[in-house]
């Protein structure tokens, strides 16, 4: 990245804030992060305090690249280096055995650590110049819709977070894929920006998938049943089911909105309609911003038509499942 004078000033200010134990909002290609020096336990605890995040919920450490893997992890399998070479920098988090020095505040007291090298040019340059790792969960109140613009972060925290680096809208729009590499067989813990099929093709195996029954022994970011939710009640389901519920809401005199996946050749009488992209990459870039916008418009309910249940939509389906207050069908 060729850094302009203005960008370098922002980076310098961010590094000074981070080294002083402060927090900074940073862009990544997935969502905006709330960053602190991952080697400073008190700074990391400040993330939890500002977000309202449970203390046993681990955060991902962001690093500049694979050369820093051994700074944070030990007993690193060959698969980790292979995945890092193929997908870093990029939207892939690796869960590995932690080095002893990694603060419990980062790992939630577990013996594992999540590591990722983001591809956003501003975040990558910040990490290179900072030299260490940044603990950086999404820059939102715990459980709320993730931010994909700097303004979302400012709306969320206001004066409580005085420094937010504006890197424009996030290119991917949903969080990173998380792959566990601490057992004999690699595990898909969270679908995200790197498709499952690309990982399986590279490793030459089928990823085991995290199951709800594993939740007591596997804790990683974004794995709670309820997460990514707007303030307005969100009802999701197949098109016919949400159309019917939206119409009933209209008959009750409620102010509601219907979110569709691609354009419709029919609507629902009296209901506002928001049309999102009909392909998964575009939809992923739009969905969090759309939910935040609808939250501000005074609707009593948001009715959302679920996109197709296909492999290409896996990450989006995962987020919508966790964001929903009510699931139909």
The domain ranges of the chain are 5-214, 234-327
Segment 162-178 mean pLDDT? 97
Q: Which residue has the higher pLDDT, 182 or 217?
A: 182
pLDDT score of 214 more than 90: no
Q: Helix/strand/coil (H, E, C) string of the chain? A: CCCCHHHHHHHHHHHHHHHCCCCEEECCCCCCEEEEECCCHHHHHHHHHHHCCCCCCCCEEECCCHHHHHHHEECCCHHHHHHHHHHCCCCEEEEEEECCCCCHHHHCCCCEEEEECCCCHHHHHHHHHHCCCEECCECCCCCECCCCCHHHHHHHHHHHCCCECCCCCCCCCCCCEEEECCCCCCEEEECCCCCHHHHHHHHCCCCEECCHHHCCCCCCCCCCCCCCECCCCEEEECHHHHHHHHHHHHHCCCCEEEEEECCCCCCCCCCEEEEECCCHHHHHHHHHHHHHHHHCCCCCEEEEECCCCCHHHHHHHHHHHHHCCEECC
- pLDDT bracket for residue 148 (50, 70, 90): very high
pTM comes to: 0.94
Domain 5-214 in CATH 3.90.870.10: yes
Give yes or no on whether 5-214 and 234-327 have one common fold: no
The CATH architecture assigned to 234-327 reads 3-Layer(aba) Sandwich (3.40)
- Condensed to tens digits (0 to 9), the pLDDT of residues 109-137 reads 999 999 999 999 999 999 999 999 999 99
């Amino acid at each position: 990245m060729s850094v302009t004078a203005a960008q370098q000033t922002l980076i310098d200010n961010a590094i000074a804030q981070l080294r002083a134990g402060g927090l900074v909002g940073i862009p990544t290609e997935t969502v905006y992060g709330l960053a602190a020096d991952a080697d400073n336990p008190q700074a990391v605890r400040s993330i939890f305090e500002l977000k309202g995040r449970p203390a046993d919920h681990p955060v991902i450490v962001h690093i500049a690249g694979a050369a820093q893997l051994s700074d944070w992890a030990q007993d690193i399998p060959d698969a980790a280096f292979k995945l890092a070479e193929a997908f870093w920098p990029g939207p892939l988090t690796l869960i590995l055995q932690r080095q002893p020095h990694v603060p419990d505040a980062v790992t939630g007291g577990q013996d594992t650590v999540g590591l990722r090298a983001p591809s956003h040019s501003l975040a990558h340059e910040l990490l290179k110049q900072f030299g260490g790792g940044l603990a950086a969960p999404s820059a939102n109140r715990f459980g709320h819709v993730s931010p994909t613009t700097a303004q979302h972060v400012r709306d969320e925290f206001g004066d409580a977070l005085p420094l937010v680096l504006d890197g424009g809208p996030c290119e991917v729009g949903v969080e990173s894929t998380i792959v566990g590499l601490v057992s004999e067989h690699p595990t898909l813990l969270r679908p995200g920006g790197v498709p499952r099929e690309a990982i399986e093709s590279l490793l030459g195996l089928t990823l085991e998938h995290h199951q709800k029954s594993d939740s007591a022994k596997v804790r990683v970011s974004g794995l709670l049943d309820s997460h990514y939710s707007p303030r307005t009640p969100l009802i999701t389901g197949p098109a016919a089911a949400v159309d019917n519920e939206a119409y009933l809401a209209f008959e009750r005199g409620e102010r509601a909105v219907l979110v569709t996946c691609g354009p419709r050749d029919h609507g629902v009488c009296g209901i506002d309609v928001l049309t999102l992209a009909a392909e998964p990459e575009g939809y992923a870039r739009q969905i969090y911003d759309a939910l935040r916008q609808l939250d501000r418009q005074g609707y009593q309910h948001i009715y959302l038509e679920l996109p197709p249940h296909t492999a290409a939509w896996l990450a989006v389906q995962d987020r919508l499942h966790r964001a929903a207050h009510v699931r139909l069908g």
